[in-house]
Amino acid sequence: MSFDALELAAPAVLEIAPYIPGKPLSEVEREYGIANSIKLASNENPLGPSPKTHAAMAIALQTIELYPDGNGFELKQALARKHHCSIEQITLGNGSNDLLVMLAEAFLNADVEAIYSQYCFAIYPIAVQATGATARVAAAYPNTHAMALGHDLEAMSQLINDRTRLIFIANPNNPTGTWVTAHELKAFVASVPKDILVVIDEAYIEYVQDDQFPDASLWIHEFENLVVTRTFSKAYGLAGLRVGYALSHPSVAAVLNRVRQPFNVNSIALAAATAALDDTEHLRQSVELNTRGMQQVLTGLESLAVRVYPSKGNFVLIDCERPSTEVNEAMLRQGVIVRPVTGYGLPTQLRISIGTEQENTRMLSALAVALK
């Protein structure tokens, strides 16, 4: 009899559709026989890490033979100062992705439910399904709505019952770029029963230039059932190092530390993230570059036959009104990597990261050719 691991796997795991990342530069160039391609598919910071961060990483390399600080004390201290909280309220993760999985592992099982929106970040359903919990998916706003494809908090609220344990909300949301206002979000959190955790994923919040946009990290002392996740992968330019964190009530953090893997954040990542927090000038430059780039891209898209969805992140979602895989293929042949989001149930949409001025110009030209 031949060996088949599928027969050994947990039933809940077999139902999971694997996460498919965007194509790396090397694969595209090898596959299409091209050079000098650009990647605007994964919402990375085109400036990369700051010089201070590079210097901190170089120092950390000198003791790479040693295990990292499993508690991440220095980074936690820096985060505690930033968010005016105690280190007991902070959990570190191998990217915020790691923390989302930890939350599912710690609080879900086959007898309970989790709620998320229709076009949410792909890791939410993967993390929930792996535990065997029941996923309750709230319909997003329709295409006719001003915040089309965005989170409908009323629809999410209608799904809450006595089996609900976790609610996931990304603000801004990936892949749509949509967002929920401060009034709406805080009212929703306040309405949720205290025995249900509300997880607000703020991976892109540093890019938001809007004084009225909610910063849920300011609410962690007010709501004991609130968890806020952040990442260094986006605005801080550390996607390759994988480091993120969660802010929560100390008792939630204590539970997460029961499932957190030892040394889940490496020494270089700990040093880099600590230095990145201190380099506010580099963060300002990164946000400024994105603001200018977003305006450049939006202006360029006006002349093309696409629908552009509102975005508060460092990316934009467009509707090509034709299969996005065809448009994507035509762009790949020109050495421009963007992201079809067919796996999210959006077959005609593309997600495009904001790059440098030169990258944005090249992307717009490639898209114009692809649409023809």
Residues 161 and 70 in one domain: yes
Does 11 or 358 have the greater pLDDT score? 358
The pLDDT, as a whole number, for residue 286 is 97
User: Across the strands, what pairs with 113?
Assistant: 134, 164
**57-72: pLDDT as tens digits:** 999 999 999 999 999 9
11 falls within a domain: no
Residue 220's alpha-carbon distances to 20, 28, 99, 119, in angstroms, are 33, 43, 16, 26
The DSSP result for 335-350, as a single string, is TEE-EE-GGGT-TTEE
CA–CA dist 31, 20 (Å, integer)? 17
- Contact at 8 Å (CB) between 234 and 315? no
- Contact at 8 Å (CB) between 100 and 168? yes
What's the structural domain count of the chain? Answer: 2
Domain boundary among 228, 258, 278: 278
Residues 286 and 224 in one domain: no
Residues 367 and 309 in one domain: yes
**For the domain that residue 213 is a member of, what is the CATH number?**
3.40.640.10
353 falls within a domain: yes
6 falls within a domain: no
**72-112: pLDDT as tens digits:** 999 999 999 999 999 999 999 999 999 999 999 999 999 99
**For residue 1, pLDDT beyond 70:** no
154-173: average pLDDT? 98
Residues 130 and 260 in one domain: yes
Residues 349 and 333 in one domain: yes
Range of the domain at 198: 51-278
Q: How many CA atoms lie within 13 A of 352 on its CB side?
A: 37
The mean predicted confidence, pLDDT, of the chain is 95
261-274: average pLDDT? 97
pTM, entire model: 0.94
Residues 313 and 220 in one domain: no
Domain boundary among 212, 244, 278: 278
12 falls within a domain: no
Residues 295 and 317 in one domain: yes
Residues 123 and 267 in one domain: yes
**For the domain that residue 344 is a member of, what is the CATH number?**
3.90.1150.10
3-state class of 198 per DSSP?
strand
CA–CA dist 39, 352 (Å, integer)? 9
Residues 194 and 120 in one domain: yes
Domain boundary among 225, 253, 278: 278
Shortest CA distance to 268 belongs to which of 232, 313, 301? Answer: 232
191 falls within a domain: yes
Residues 133 and 120 in one domain: yes
Residues 215 and 132 in one domain: yes
> Percentage of the chain with pLDDT > 70?
98
Our separate counts of H helices and E strands in the chain read: 13, 13
74 falls within a domain: yes
Helix residue ranges per DSSP H, 132-249:
153-158, 182-191
9 falls within a domain: no
Residues 247 and 321 in one domain: no
